Structure 1
Amino acid sequence: MPDRQAGYRTPARMFHWGIAIAVLLMIPAGLTMTREGLPRGLQDALFLFHKNLGVLLVPFILARLIYRTIHPPPPLPETMPQWQIRVARISHALLYALLIVMPLSGFTRVRAGGFPVELLDRLGFGPWIAKSETLAAAAQALHFLAAYLLIALLALHVAAALHHALIRRDEVWTRMWPPRQG
């Protein structure tokens, strides 16, 4: 069995799993909050949760990108086919890009639509963006498209991880999985 301590360092694993859990909570909230006929109280709660968790995620995503730049990921096993290595690199780059596009487009949609971002408002940040229905609509379309691309890439990412864990049974899975203690 591969050494569970090999692979990504503990901070990288913590960033990965913390952001992953937050994103996996935000997806159903985001998909549900815009549904027709949803009780107003539930809809408001979902919007509050989604917007403010997005605000909280931004510094963690930026910190993760900085950490990854300073501490590059461990090399993939030489036994991995080159096409899988290319797909892994491309999909990771796209995941990071979408993790940046999602909060920026969401923030732009909300502010250009003239809506509050409660956490930022409480902290005294101004709107930064003037109200513009055109900009709000463009940002909303980008946010919607990016959300579905993110969902598809996450599904590919999880499928690849499960492939390495259950079929190949190689060290790729254990590189990011939280290490066992003792």
Structure 2
Amino acid sequence: MTDPAGYRTPARLLHWIIAAAVLLMIPAGLIMTREGLPKGLGDGLFLFHKNMGTLLIPLIALRILYRWLHPAPPLPPSVPEWQRRAAGVSHLALYVLLVVMPLSGFVRVRAGGFPIELLDSLGAGPWLAKSEPLARTAEGLHYAAAMLLIAVLVVHVAAALQHALIRRDGVWQRMWPPAGR
């Protein structure tokens, strides 16, 4: 269950499940708001994006709780101090953005008076009154956080690939999916 140099299996599974969902949701979110999409495609992307965001909220909460209970294993001594600090800042940014994104999306949808089919089918109720000003604010926050998330993810993936392909220092393997080890 534990690799002394790497993350535990639950952390790895949560990382890759959330990563796959986010990497699917980013293009869906960018495409679904385009003008001129066929109605069925736009509607399908909105359904996917809203409901996947709803599913991600408890997974992200579980991931943060797990990380709090099981801190990250130490980086290899070969990793320079500036990279350690950069990794800490980027991971914190990722966690904050992973919380802000689904919550701002939820507020945007509910304050806009729109359904979230998964929650509605469970009888969850809207939880927020309709408010166009709140919906617009949440929409702006959601968009800004999405652009920042994309930027931080590009840096995160580039750093991971640099450790995997150039430095080959074991940092990549710390989070590699457990089934692939």
Alignment TM-score, normalising by the size of structure 1: 0.95
Residue identity in the other structure for 1:85: R
Distance of 1:96 and 1:6 partners within structure 2: 22
Show the counterpart of 2:14: 15
Q: Which residue of 2 aligns with 1:38?
A: 37
RMSD: 1.3
Report SS of the residue matched to 2:138: helix
> What do residues 38-77 of structure 1 show as CA deviations (whole Å, max 9, x unaligned)?
0111111000000000001111100011111111110011
Give the distance between the partners of 1:94 and 1:6, measured in 2 at CA: 24
Which residue is equivalent to 2:105? 106
Cα distance 1:7–1:134, how it changes in 2: closer, same or farther (>3 A)? Answer: same
What residue in structure 1 maps to residue 84 of structure 2?
Answer: 85
- Per-residue deviation at 1:6? 3.2
State the Cα distance separating 1:180 from its structure 2 match.
5.9
Long gaps (5+) in structure 2: none
- Return the letter of the residue paired with 1:52: N
1:116 and 2:115 aligned: yes
3-state DSSP class of the match of 2:77?
A: coil
CA contact (8 A) 1:109 1:136 kept: yes
Corresponding residue number in structure 2 for 1:156: 155
Tell whether 2:96 aligns with 1:97: yes
Aligned to 2:55: 56
Contact 1:15 1:64 in 2 (8 A): yes
TM-score by length of 2: 0.96
Distance 2:65 2:42 in 1: 35
- The question of whether the paired residues in 1 share the 8 Å contact of 2:110 and 2:130 is answered with yes
Asked if the contact 1:109/1:140 (under 8 Å) is kept, the reply is: yes
* CA separation of 1:181 and 1:172: change in aligned 2, threshold 3 A: closer
Q: After TM superposition, give the deviation of residue 97 of structure 1 in Å.
A: 0.3
TM-fit CA distance, 1:178: 2.1
**Contact map agreement 1:101 1:146 (CA 8 A) in 2:** yes
1:5 positional shift:
7.0
Unmatched segments (≥5 aa) in structure 1 = none
* Aligned 8 A contact 2:12 2:178 in 1: no
* Alpha-carbon separation, structure 2, partners of 1:5 and 1:168: 20
Kept in 1, the 8 Å contact 2:107–2:138? The answer is yes
The one-letter amino acid paired with 1:20 is A
Aligned length: 179
On the 8 A contact 1:112/1:133 being kept in 2, the answer is: yes
Paired with 1:67 and 1:10, the residues of 2 have a C-alpha distance of 11
| Aligned-pair identity (%) | 69
Conservation of the 8 A alpha-carbon contact between 1:5 and 1:179: no
